[in-house]
Amino acid sequence: MLSYSLRTSILALSIAASCGATASQAASVTPEDTFPSTQAWLTHAEQGLAPYWMHEAAQGVPVGNFPTFRCDNGELLDVSNVCPELQHGWITPHFGREYTRMKSRQTYAYGVLFHLTGDVKALELAKDGAYYLIDQLQDAKNGGFISFTEDDKPGLKWTQRTSQDQAYALVGLAMYYYLTRDPKVEQALIEQQAFIFDKYKLNDDVGLAWVLEDGDDQSAKQHELVAQLDQINGYMLLVAPLLPEPHKTKWLTDLEWLTQILVNDYHSDEEQRFYGAIHHKAVMLPNAKHNDFGHTIKAYWMTYLTAQLLDKPDWETFAKQGMEVTLERAQYNMPFEYVADYFPQDQQAALKGTTIRHGKADLTVVAPLLGSGQSLTKRL
């Protein structure tokens, strides 16, 4: 059985074909045909997401202290009887930790639920999460945010916390500020951004540092794509246009500097992709961490949005071309049987045995030519 979210994604890709096209007849596809409808998004939010995130166990003690570990049925982790989905070697050693980034992401999720559905309870939970982050997880002594607590104590020295952790602490605050312009949250955003760019901006050649001191299996020698990218994605693009001066101008200047770092130092013009890191040749290889389609297209996407915000047509062209190349490379095929339920009965027999090629936000049916070893491809 496919998960609800996967089935919803497949449905979005299948809309055009569901309207009457078959493997033997091509039809013109518009974005309106292939993108989910408003109702599809609302159904996904209200039926696919809200039941899990509005669950009482998700709300934390006190409310706003959202738990890091929950099972697929919504219940809290029981370390004496661990649910199978959490029983993995890369998760179990950290059961004693409560991660700030997870609380921040959940705060963001409540903001999105309110934004889509108007559910005031979701907005209240977003406020609870935002205020808990500010009141309980800021490092009053050193600045910035705590990366995680372990047995109710702050983990890591402040110099060992990653700049990505510092960025993701702001994801939920950014969404709540976007919705409300809350002055307390605005002040926290301004102070945290200043902290990051003051403490982690060491050298223009490598952008923001990853960590300032070795610890927790991280090294100060690392120069990571996500140290730059997730400042842009996590809070800067959403918040910068909304800030009062002089903060708006400062943020936009920093946004331009970060994007220039991405384009100049983390991008391979020859390979048309972004490197996941640049501190050693090994970490720049295609199979190394963060050298993947997801991080590459995310970097192009953030560059594209920054270009539009700052009126940089060269960056916009560069990013659009990069996204097109990446989507082409990232196409994959799946058997028609995986999505057959979304096609009218009269089409299912005709398309049985074909392959669905999923990419470029469209749908292609690849029909085998029996006995020839070749295939007939039709774009639906």
Among residues 140, 137, 105, 111, the alpha carbon closest in space to that of 124 is found at 111
- pLDDT above 90 covers what percent of the chain? 74
Which letter, b or e, does each residue of 145-157 get, where b requires 16 or more Cβ atoms within 10 Å of its Cβ?
Answer: bbbbbeeeebbbe
Q: How far is residue 250's CA from residue 239's CA, in Å, rounded to a whole number? A: 12
Structure tokens at 105: 């992401």
Q: How confident is the model over 126-182, as pLDDT tens digits?
A: 999 999 999 999 999 999 999 999 988 999 999 999 999 999 999 999 999 999 999
70: left (phi over 0), alpha (psi -120 to 50) or beta: beta
Structure tokens at 260: 């220039």
Q: What value does the mean pLDDT take over residues 76-101? A: 97
- In this prediction, residue 368 carries a pLDDT of 40
- In this prediction, residue 51 carries a pLDDT of 96
Q: What value does the mean pLDDT take over residues 322-333? A: 89
Report CA-CA distances (Å) from 323 to 9, 299, 302, 330, 337. 20, 9, 11, 10, 29
Q: How far is residue 79's CA from residue 113's CA, in Å, rounded to a whole number? A: 30
Residue 148: DSSP 8-state: E
- In this prediction, residue 349 carries a pLDDT of 81
Residue 123 has pLDDT above 80, yes or no: yes
Residue 248 has pLDDT above 90, yes or no: yes
Higher pLDDT, 360 or 289: 289
Q: What value does the mean pLDDT take over residues 10-26? A: 39
Residue 57: DSSP 8-state: G
Structure tokens at 112: 């999105």
Concatenating the DSSP letter of every residue in 77-144 gives: P-TTS--GGG--TTTGGGTTEEEHHHHHHHHHHHHHHHHHH--HHHHHHHHHHHHHHHHHSB-TTTSS
CB within 8 A of 215, min separation 6: which ones?
Answer: 156, 157, 159, 160
Among residues 39, 191, 186, 180, the alpha carbon closest in space to that of 111 is found at 180
Which residue matches tokens 């923001």? 208
Q: How confident is the model at residue 358 (pLDDT cuts 50, 70, 90)?
A: low
Residue 22 has pLDDT above 80, yes or no: no
- In this prediction, residue 340 carries a pLDDT of 78
Residue 267 has pLDDT above 50, yes or no: yes
Q: How confident is the model over 368-377, as pLDDT tens digits?
A: 433 333 433 3
**Interior angle at CA 152, CA 150 and CA 158, nearest 5:** 60
- In this prediction, residue 343 carries a pLDDT of 75
Residue 207 has pLDDT above 50, yes or no: yes
Q: What is the mean pLDDT of the chain?
A: 87
Q: How far is residue 271's CA from residue 286's CA, in Å, rounded to a whole number? A: 10
Q: How confident is the model over 28-84, as pLDDT tens digits?
A: 556 666 778 889 899 999 999 999 999 999 999 999 999 999 999 999 999 999 999
